[in-house]
Amino acid sequence: MRRNYEIEVCANSLESAWAAQAGGADRVELCAGMPEGGTTPSIGTIRLACERLSLRVHPIIRLRGGDFLYTKEEIEIMEEDIRQAVAVGAQGVVVGCLCADGRLDLPSLRRLIDAAEGRSVTLHRAFDYVLDPFRAIDELIDLGVERILTSGQAPTAMQGVAMLKQCVEYAGDRIKIMVGCGVNEVNIATLAQETGATAFHFSARIQKKSAMQVCNEALYMGNKGVDEYATELTSVEKVKTIIQALCGQQPFGL
């Protein structure tokens, strides 16, 4: 019998998205720039994921790391990114923007939602930076947003359990509260029990060593000290293990 939980995997590549599907996820949040918290993936990645996978593909639309206070030009860029993502088959998008005073930037959000042309919209963890989360929930419901990804305004979901529980209760069946950040096989069942949430977001990544036979570790293309001969990718087995820990039984599709 199909589980009663909604599982989203944060996938940083086509390979990770495939692993999420093979592991039994319902949907992927397709991202690039994971060290920055997730940025907009390439249009080629979105297109191939939509063409080759059967699960739902929701790319994050975030043109840069850092805060969620965007200029007019940045909003225009994200609008265009959404239009292109929709054109190649994305079933939804993940967005978020704030005002300088910690409120949701409602005019900009409306523009991004309009650009999605009726596709599913998730508000990402910009929610964790708003001053009044309950007001924000009401505003997002009015905008037609389908779900909110949140750690309960804490560094990890386990640290935000109390706020997550309040958000789940306040939202009721009006909008989906999706728990994310630090969710794994050890804590997911506890998070479900303590918060009442039925939607979860995790990456389930492991490190994959490069197949390069010649390496020059004295050189680096990004930040010094980062292992550039390894890649973090979603693991099929880890996705299955986390789902099994949540469901307490064989995960769907295993």
What does the DSSP 8-state code read for residue 181?
S
* Mean of the per-residue pLDDT values of the chain: 93
**pLDDT value of residue 1:** 30
Q: 107: Cβ–Cβ under 8 A, 6 or more apart, which residues? A: none
- Span 76-104, average pLDDT: 98
**pLDDT value of residue 142:** 98
| Residue 253: C-alpha distances to residues 4, 9, 24, 193 (Å) | 14, 16, 6, 24
| Residue 200 neighbours by CB distance under 10 Å | 24
Decide if pLDDT at 244 tops 70: yes
Q: 169: Cβ–Cβ under 8 A, 6 or more apart, which residues? A: 196
Q: Mean pLDDT lowest for which of 137-141, 177-181, 214-218, 238-242?
A: 214-218
Decide if pLDDT at 249 tops 60: no
Q: How far apart are CA 229 and CA 217, in angstroms?
A: 9
Q: How far is CA 100 from the centre of its chain?
A: 23
pTM: 0.90
In this structure, the chain runs to a length of: 254
- Span 112-134, average pLDDT: 98
pLDDT confidence bin for 119, thresholds 50/70/90:
very high
